[in-house]
Amino acid sequence: MNQVTAEQLLISPEEYLEGEPYAEVRHEYIDGEVYAMAGAGDAHVKVSLNCAFLLKTHLKGSGCSTYISDMKVRIGDDIAENKAFFYPDVMVCCDPFDQQPEQNYVKQLPKLIIEVLSPSTEANDRGRKFLLYRGIPSLEEYILLNPEEYLLERYSRQADNQWLITTYKEADAMVEFDSINFSCTLADFYDDVVFEKQDSDPLPENT
């Protein structure tokens, strides 16, 4: 039997976009390879929804749109070396280009992207995915939220195209997203989230 090479298994962006609407599970795409997406836990879903609700409320009437994880973002055009499609947990797009009918299922010019971490995706969200996101010229801020504790990391693009990280750990800390002129407390992102209790060290036995 002939062995199929890895190169033969790669699919084009057009093939991915054509097949994705009919797939039983969603897939992300990186340079010809597709990766099935896993489901999310209770805290992950609640933090994502809180982010989307807060941003959508803030941006009402601004011309910017807030999207949840059913909307894809495209990285790289047809001639780019790297091509990828991701489903960010939350995304804000303000460019009129992304409101055109042909962009109904895919956005290309987000200003802000938020990813809520999970054990299976954290390494990718911090590594390869962030590296690819940085190639989006319109992206000004990239946010990582840990749903298991009060922890938000904000990466903001600087004038020299470097990225500055700001970390928030206190529930009453005031978080600011400069890209959309937004602020709230860190605790606002965790509304209705119940953290798992940490096991404490056992008490010594009486002798």
Question: Within 13 Å, how many C-alpha atoms sit on residue 135's CB side?
Answer: 15
* DSSP run (H or E) holding 115: strand 110-116
Paired tokens of 79: 């001639």
Nearest Cα neighbor of 134 from 165, 153, 162, 160 is 162
Whole-model pTM: value is: 0.88
**pLDDT at 8 (0 to 100):** 45
Residues in the chain, pLDDT under 70: 1-8, 78-80, 198-207
Domains in the chain with CATH codes:
40-190 (3.90.1570.10)
pLDDT tens digits along 53-101:
999 999 999 999 999 999 999 998 765 678 899 999 999 999 999 999 9
**pLDDT at 4 (0 to 100):** 34
Paired tokens of 135: 């190639």
CB atoms within 10 A of CB 9: 10
Bridge partners (DSSP) listed for residue 86: 73
**pLDDT at 196 (0 to 100):** 81
**pLDDT at 82 (0 to 100):** 81
C-alpha span between 45 and 22 (Å, rounded): 24
C-alpha span between 135 and 30 (Å, rounded): 13
**pLDDT at 2 (0 to 100):** 36
DSSP designation for 99: G
